[in-house]
Structure 1
């Protein structure tokens, strides 16, 4: 007498699939654990230089990006992303009595002001890099 199937066909297929997946995971786990790579070992490479050629090549775009960001940050209250606009939002939150919003915006304002200082420093650094690149005859194209 044949044994009665206790599971419907769909569940039986799903159970067999899960069993096959579990079996393949059990077989693959010891293969991964032995630590010996099956292919050629990838040698850890060290940089061959300081990347000066690439930095000089990207310099005009980097300078433009920093200048654009500083112009935005130093814009008036009508410029989205400016320090002045965020200061206005902090003042609006304070006058509306939204203490939590004011705190959140004040923290963002602190970070944005720090970003201005960082970008100004970066802009000065890029000027000296541009001088160096010109002296070395490195790339200066966009």
Structure 2
């Protein structure tokens, strides 16, 4: 008697599919029993992301303060640069002027909207820089945020 290998593979695949379907059907009543329709988990195993903060994060803010001040200063230098500095307000203003001169109205409108956003970013970063000066003073007076 000869055995056809194709039939054996098909039979094995069918048995595998039945086994998977059976395990899925067996899990449904267990999930439905708790009324949630999802696998039950112990309430005490809540992820740490759901816990309330234990403080204001002053220690971490004080620790990152030098890098933060450096990034803000670098961004302000770039924004306040002349037309040769990539990312500066002056360079974007020049691009808007060039687009208007060339008659590319949609491009000029798009660039002008970016210019408006960049100018508001300048104001935001200037405010942040002054806030960081106050934070630096506080960190120095409070042991880098280690005291409570």
TM surpasses 0.5: yes
Select which of 49, 59, 64 maps to 2:65.
59
User: How many angstroms does 1:36 deviate by?
Assistant: 2.3
Aligned length: 129
Structure with the higher helix share, 1 or 2: 2
- Which structure has more relative contact order (CA 8 Å, sep 6+)? It is 1
2:3 equivalent in structure 1: none
Structure 1 residue 117 corresponds to structure 2 residue 123: yes
User: How many angstroms does 1:26 deviate by?
Assistant: 6.7
Structure 2: give runs of 5+ residues left out of the alignment: 1-5
User: How many angstroms does 1:38 deviate by?
Assistant: 6.3
Select which of 32, 37, 45 maps to 1:41.
45
User: How many angstroms does 1:91 deviate by?
Assistant: 0.5
User: How many angstroms does 1:68 deviate by?
Assistant: 0.2
Detail structure 1 runs of 4+ shifted over 3 Å in the superposition.
22-32
Q: Deviations over 1:89-128 (max 9, x none)?
A: 0011111111111111011000000000000000000000
Select which of 96, 105, 109 maps to 1:103.
109
1:3 equivalent in structure 2: none
TM-score of the aligned structures, taking structure 2 as reference length: 0.72
Aligned pairs for 1:47-86 within 5 A? 47-86=53-92
Structure 1 residues 27 and 105, CA gap change in structure 2 (3 angstroms): farther
**C-alpha RMSD over aligned residues:** 3.1
Structure 1: give runs of 5+ residues left out of the alignment: 1-7
Q: What CA distance in whole angstroms lies between the structure 1 residues aligned with 2:95 and 2:27?
A: 57
